[in-house]
């Protein structure tokens, strides 16, 4: 063994080099540039040939961090078993091991103590930043700024890679229509077109050039249907039609494959009766077959064994058999593969060729990362020190935070705030919270590291600030995030808050959800302001109606009372480390808000799922006065509180002169549709101009509107710009009743405007 170790210690790249043509490392390296793919495949194959079945299965095994580097080697229990597996070469990847010191220590075991010295990949949930936190992904989506989103992912990759990581479990590209589901915060919202563009931007930002040590592998998740959990309850059953699957859910995933994403994660849910983890239609037929995805699929955490609870596998061995045969390549934390796959191959239940395929995919990605050349590529303690929390990274997350804010209401131009001579009362527990803005996926960030709203406002010295909490959002939080409790009764702080509100010219109230009230496992059945915050808002409004409501939340909220009464409302989500600075700059007008909602805000939780691209139904309108026999509620409007694509600015934009170059086109033809937008306000501002189309008659029924293009423009006061969109055959394609993506001739409408609700419209026709 010792002898062998020496033979292979120069990493298995050396082995490969020798095997390929008896040539030196140098020759192999230089040949990569002119026939990269073939050389890569040959290298992977030559490593694979050296491996025993056990070692190949080992590559398919991913363990959660188990070893305190500074502590003793684990001697008993699960940790000890995992540690032994690592030394035997039975681990292909680790998750949740971070920091150059820890990563190096584990990599060293893999490279120096295992028979073949194959390096590990280190994965982590870098969802919106690593330690310096950017806005939650839903907030970033509200920027509609693809370059900014790409840059935000690149910044996260830079910080994460400097601590030894080389793989993030992001982006989550699940299209989500149900605000009760806690994970809507992790995606790009409800729209497939916008979601696909953002998915690509994020993949490009994370992965960039994988040969650089500043980029990391991205992972498109959760394949598929996870966000369509019944009742918005996390992990719940998913049953959707093929029309929805193909037209709504799949496209962002397909877009990431086309953009070169290297990994996919499957999902916890069952999809139409088959758990996604054991679903060969999803993983083998669609993903690896139709879409030709050549990276690898990792299971979600323990999702292989969860097929037992689903009632789909009788035990862990059966689950391993189903998952591998269905195309799940890597097992995250179920231990089902490492425990059972060898036996399953020997019993003829799993073909060794399928194990080879999975191992080959994983090894290939390791080669692509350059780990065989340098397993410690991401392990540089000096770089780690210089990079984490650097001024450039702070600047980057601040920029993204400002771009993510959406102005929902601004009656009588209450905003921006005057910079001097004002008494401002700041109210709400969230105004003084330095942890909540970090959101729920910030597992490497320390508590109390965000800039609070109060701190952000304190940077502006011209006004007098008074703060009162009013009421808690969360109390009794202990070490475990799941122990966050919601204050539903304590109003003892109201009096002080009312007193300072009475004295103030303006009241800034920061209300909403704590950062830990959305995210995985945090579904809500009531999506109003939690606790006694609604009562606090009403009590303050009674004594001083000049209220600016700043919302912090990880999902659309139902706030009809606030919309009716409060003059100014700012949607500020959870904006990360620089949250308070971004909010203050927007409130004071040093940044003119330009965000647009990526998800519909309902009036009432009972409307959920509510989304702009709904189907018309057979009874869309009331035909006779007082008839109840149409698709509606008897106690609520059908319309949303704030529609998809909506957001105001301190500028005012007027849309006019919508024109089409022609009112019909044929295959290979096109129409250009243009509109003029004028800034009639007093300040320079940015506007996201949106184009939607409606296909009036289809072989399957079509949505009332679908986003098909958008462009962000900046306009000075009185300036007018013309924006032109292109419509061609691709624009109108969808997954038809023929079960393929194609266009159908017929009548269409095109809409252009600053939201999905407020648009100019024209008609056109398409001929085949
Ligand atoms: C479970 C989540 O569903 C998934 O998104 C995440 O990446 C893994 N846990 C790993 O933490």
Distance CA 193, CA 643 (A): 16
Ligand 1 centroid, distance to 268 Cα (angstroms): 9
Query: Do 737 and 700 meet the contact criterion of CB atoms below 8 Å apart?
Result: yes
Q: What pLDDT, in 10s, does the model give residues 693-705?
A: 999 999 999 999 9
Residue 326 has pLDDT above 70, yes or no: yes
Atom of ligand 1 nearest to the CA of 169: 7
For residue 27, the SS3 value is helix
Q: What pLDDT, in 10s, does the model give residues 694-751?
A: 999 999 999 999 999 999 999 999 999 999 999 999 999 999 999 999 999 999 999 9
The pLDDT value recorded for residue 622 is 84
Cα angle, residue 354 at apex, residues 293 and 319 outer, rounded to 5° = 100
Nearest protein CA to atom 7 of ligand 1, as residue: 169
Residue whose entry in the numeric block shows the structure tokens 């529609």: 643
Which among 330, 519, 520, 521 is the best mutation to test ligand 1's pocket, defined by most ligand atoms within 8 Å of the CB?
Answer: 520
Strand 331-332, strand 61-64: pairing: parallel
Q: What pLDDT, in 10s, does the model give residues 489-501?
A: 899 999 999 999 9
Distance CA 7, CA 11 (A): 9
Which among 217, 300, 305 is the best mutation to test ligand 1's pocket, defined by most ligand atoms within 8 Å of the CB?
Answer: 300
- Positive or negative, the CA dihedral 259, 265, 267, 271 is positive
Residue 546: count of CB within 10 angstroms of its CB: 18
The pLDDT value recorded for residue 3 is 34
Residue 33 has pLDDT above 60, yes or no: no
- Positive or negative, the CA dihedral 542, 546, 552, 558 is positive
For residue 423, the SS3 value is strand
DSSP code for 599 = S
- Positive or negative, the CA dihedral 580, 582, 587, 589 is positive
DSSP code for 452 = P
Please give the full DSSP string across 95-164, using - where no structure is assigned: ES--SHHHHHHHHHIIIIISSS-PPPEEEE--SSBSSSB---HHHHHTT--HHHHHHHHHHHHHHHHTTT
Query: Do 259 and 203 meet the contact criterion of CB atoms below 8 Å apart?
Result: yes
Atom of ligand 1 nearest to the CA of 172: 5
Residue 10 has pLDDT above 60, yes or no: no
Distance CA 510, CA 498 (A): 15
Nearest protein CA to atom 11 of ligand 1, as residue: 125
Confidence of residue 31 (pLDDT cuts 50, 70, 90): very low
Q: What pLDDT, in 10s, does the model give residues 547-593?
A: 999 999 999 999 999 999 999 999 999 999 999 999 999 999 999 99
The pLDDT value recorded for residue 14 is 43
pTM: 0.95
Nearest to 643 by CA among 614, 618, 617: 614
Q: What pLDDT, in 10s, does the model give residues 511-535?
A: 999 998 899 998 999 999 998 999 9
Q: Tell me the pLDDT of the chain averaged across its residues.
A: 93
Ligand 1 centroid, distance to 212 Cα (angstroms): 26
Question: Which residues form ligand 1's pocket by a CB distance below 6 Å?
Answer: 125, 169, 221, 300-301, 520
Atom of ligand 1 nearest to the CA of 222: 5
Ligand 1 centroid, distance to 7 Cα (angstroms): 38
Nearest protein CA to atom 3 of ligand 1, as residue: 300
Query: Do 416 and 471 meet the contact criterion of CB atoms below 8 Å apart?
Result: no
Ligand 1 centroid, distance to 192 Cα (angstroms): 22
Please give the full DSSP string across 236-302, using - where no structure is assigned: --B---HHHIIIIIHHHHHHHHHTT--EEEE-SSEETTEEGGG-HIIIIIIIIIIT---SEEEPPTT
Question: What are the backbone angles phi and psi of residue 275, rounded to the nearest 5°?
Answer: -55, 140
Ligand 1 centroid, distance to 750 Cα (angstroms): 39
Distance CA 278, CA 318 (A): 11
Which among 62, 174, 265 is the best mutation to test ligand 1's pocket, defined by most ligand atoms within 8 Å of the CB?
Answer: 265
Which among 126, 136, 169 is the best mutation to test ligand 1's pocket, defined by most ligand atoms within 8 Å of the CB?
Answer: 169
For residue 753, what are the β-bridge partners? 690, 759
Ligand 1 centroid, distance to 687 Cα (angstroms): 35
For residue 63, the SS3 value is strand
Residue 768 has pLDDT above 90, yes or no: no
The catalytically annotated residue of 125, 178, 191, 300 is 300
Residue 211 has pLDDT above 60, yes or no: yes
Ligand 1 centroid, distance to 370 Cα (angstroms): 25
Residue 17 has pLDDT above 50, yes or no: no
Ligand 1 centroid, distance to 558 Cα (angstroms): 28
Residue 1: count of CB within 10 angstroms of its CB: 6
Ligand 1 centroid, distance to 300 Cα (angstroms): 6
Ligand 1 centroid, distance to 267 Cα (angstroms): 9
The pLDDT > 70 percentage for the chain reads 92
Atom of ligand 1 nearest to the CA of 170: 7
Retrieve residue 394's tokens. Answer: 């702070």
Confidence of residue 219 (pLDDT cuts 50, 70, 90): very high
Q: What does the longest C-alpha to C-alpha distance in the chain come to? A: 90
Which among 65, 121, 125 is the best mutation to test ligand 1's pocket, defined by most ligand atoms within 8 Å of the CB?
Answer: 125
The pLDDT value recorded for residue 79 is 87
Nearest to 280 by CA among 324, 315, 243, 319: 324
**Inter-CA distances, 729 with 7, 671, 696, 742, 768, Å:** 59, 10, 16, 9, 9
Burial of 43 (0-12, 13-18, 19+ CB in 10 A): buried
Query: Do 198 and 146 meet the contact criterion of CB atoms below 8 Å apart?
Result: yes
The pLDDT value recorded for residue 510 is 98
Distance CA 472, CA 530 (A): 10
- Positive or negative, the CA dihedral 438, 440, 446, 447 is positive
Nearest protein CA to atom 8 of ligand 1, as residue: 301
Cα angle, residue 363 at apex, residues 360 and 367 outer, rounded to 5° = 130
CA-based Rg of the chain, rounded to a whole angstrom?
A: 27
Retrieve residue 83's tokens. Answer: 């540690």
Atom of ligand 1 nearest to the CA of 96: 11
Q: What pLDDT, in 10s, does the model give residues 39-84?
A: 999 999 999 999 999 999 999 999 999 766 556 678 788 889 999 9
331 catalytic residue (yes or no): no
Query: Do 300 and 265 meet the contact criterion of CB atoms below 8 Å apart?
Result: yes
Nearest protein CA to atom 1 of ligand 1, as residue: 301
For residue 765, what are the β-bridge partners? 664, 747
Q: What pLDDT, in 10s, does the model give residues 341-388?
A: 999 999 999 999 999 999 999 999 999 999 999 999 999 999 999 999
Nearest protein CA to atom 10 of ligand 1, as residue: 301
Distance CA 308, CA 578 (A): 43
Ligand 1 centroid, distance to 265 Cα (angstroms): 9
Distance CA 719, CA 268 (A): 51
Nearest to 406 by CA among 179, 139, 187, 639: 139
Atom of ligand 1 nearest to the CA of 123: 10
Cα angle, residue 44 at apex, residues 259 and 305 outer, rounded to 5° = 75
Query: Do 595 and 569 meet the contact criterion of CB atoms below 8 Å apart?
Result: no
**Section 163-181 average pLDDT:** 98
Domains of the chain: 1-71+93-120+360-389 (no CATH), 391-607 (3.40.50.1700), 653-767 (2.60.40.10)
From the centroid of its chain, how far is CA 92?
26
Nearest protein CA to atom 9 of ligand 1, as residue: 301
For residue 466, what are the β-bridge partners? 425
**Section 501-509 average pLDDT:** 98
Q: What pLDDT, in 10s, does the model give residues 106-141?
A: 999 999 999 999 999 999 999 999 999 999 999 999
Confidence of residue 484 (pLDDT cuts 50, 70, 90): low
The pLDDT value recorded for residue 38 is 85
Nearest protein CA to atom 4 of ligand 1, as residue: 300
């Amino acid at each position: 063994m010792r002898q062998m170790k020496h033979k292979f210690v120069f990493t298995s790249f050396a082995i490969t080099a020798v095997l390929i043509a008896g040539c030196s490392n140098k020759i192999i390296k230089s040949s990569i540039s002119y026939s990269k793919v073939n050389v890569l495949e040959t290298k992977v194959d030559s490593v694979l040939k050296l491996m025993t079945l056990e070692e190949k299965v080992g590559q398919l095994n991913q363990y959660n961090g188990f070893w305190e580097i500074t502590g003793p080697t684990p001697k008993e229990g699960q940790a000890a078993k995992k540690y032994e597996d690592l030394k035997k070469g039975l681990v292909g990847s680790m998750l949740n091991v971070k920091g150059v010191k820890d990563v190096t220590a584990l990599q060293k075991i893999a490279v120096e103590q295992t028979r073949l010295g194959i390096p590990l990949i280190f994965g982590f949930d870098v969802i919106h930043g690593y330690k310096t936190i950017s806005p939650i992904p839903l907030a970033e989506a509200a920027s509609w700024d693809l370059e900014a989103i790409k840059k935000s992912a690149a910044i996260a990759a830079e910080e994460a890679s400097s601590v030894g990581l080389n793989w993030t479990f992001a982006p989550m590209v699940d299209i989500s229509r149900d605000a009760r589901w806690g994970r809507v915060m992790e995606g790009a919202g409800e729209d497939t077109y916008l979601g696909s563009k953002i998915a690509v931007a994020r993949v490009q930002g994370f992965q960039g050039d994988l040969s650089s040590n500043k980029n990391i592998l991205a992972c498109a998740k959760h394949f598929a249907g996870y966000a369509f959990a019944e009742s918005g309850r996390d992990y719940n059953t998913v049953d959707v039609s093929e029309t929805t699957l193909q037209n709504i859910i799949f496209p962002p995933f397909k877009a990431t494959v086309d953009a070169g994403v290297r990994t996919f994660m499957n999902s916890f849910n069952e999809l139409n009766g088959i758990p996604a983890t054991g679903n060969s239609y999803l993983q083998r037929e669609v993903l690896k077959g139709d879409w030709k995805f050549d990276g690898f699929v990792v299971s979600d955490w323990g999702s292989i064994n969860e097929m037992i609870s689903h009632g789909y596998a009788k035990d862990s061995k059966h689950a391993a058999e189903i998952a591998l045969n269905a195309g799940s390549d890597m097992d995250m934390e179920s231990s089902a593969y490492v425990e059972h796959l060898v036996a399953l191959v020997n019993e003829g239940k799993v073909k060794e060729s399928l194990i080879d395929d999975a191992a080959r995919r994983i090894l290939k990605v390791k080669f692509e990362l350059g780990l065989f050349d340098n397993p410690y590529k991401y392990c540089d303690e000096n770089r780690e020190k210089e990079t984490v929390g650097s001024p450039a990274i702070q600047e980057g997350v601040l920029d993204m935070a400002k771009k993510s804010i959406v102005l929902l209401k601004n009656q009588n131009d209450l905003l921006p705030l005057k910079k001097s001579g004002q008494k401002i009362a700041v109210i709400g527990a969230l105004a003084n919270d330095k942890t909540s803005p970090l959101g729920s996926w910030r597992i490497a960030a320390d508590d109390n590291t965000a800039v609070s709203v109060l701190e952000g406002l304190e940077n502006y010295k011209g006004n007098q600030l008074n703060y009162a909490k009013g009421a808690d959002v969360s109390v009794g939080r202990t070490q475990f995030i799941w122990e966050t409790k919601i204050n539903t009764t304590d109003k003892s702080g109201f009096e002080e808050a009312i007193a300072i509100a009475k004295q103030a010219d303006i009241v800034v109230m920061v209300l909403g959800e704590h950062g830990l009230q959305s995210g995985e496992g945090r579904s809500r059945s009531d999506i109003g302001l939690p606790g006694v915050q609604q009562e606090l808002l009403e009590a303050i409004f009674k004594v001083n109606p000049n209220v600016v409501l700043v919302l912090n939340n990880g999902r659309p909220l139902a706030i009809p009372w606030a919309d009716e009464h409060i003059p100014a409302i700012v949607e500020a989500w959870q904006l990360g480390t620089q949250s308070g600075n971004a909010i203050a700059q927007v409130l004071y007008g040093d940044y003119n808000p330009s965000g647009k909602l990526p998800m519909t805000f309902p009036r009432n939780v009972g409307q959920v799922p509510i989304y702009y691209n709904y189907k018309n139904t057979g009874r869309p309108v009331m035909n006779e006065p007082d008839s109840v026999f149409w698709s509606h509620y008897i106690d609520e409007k059908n319309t949303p509180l704030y529609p998809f694509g909506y957001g105001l600015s301190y500028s005012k934009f007027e849309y006019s002169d919508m024109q089409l170059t022609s009112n019909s086109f044929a295959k290979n033809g096109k129409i250009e549709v243009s509109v003029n937008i004028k800034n009639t306000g007093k300040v320079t501002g940015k506007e996201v101009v949106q184009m939607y189309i409606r296909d009036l008659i289809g072989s399957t029924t079509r949505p009332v509107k679908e986003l098909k293009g958008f462009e962000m423009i900046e306009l000075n006061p009185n300036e007018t710009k013309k924006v032109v969109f292109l419509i061609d055959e691709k624009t109108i394609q969808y997954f038809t009743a023929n079960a393929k993506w194609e266009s159908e001739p017929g009548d269409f409408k095109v809409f252009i405007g600053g939201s999905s609700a407020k648009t100019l419209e024209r008609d056109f026709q398409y001929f085949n």
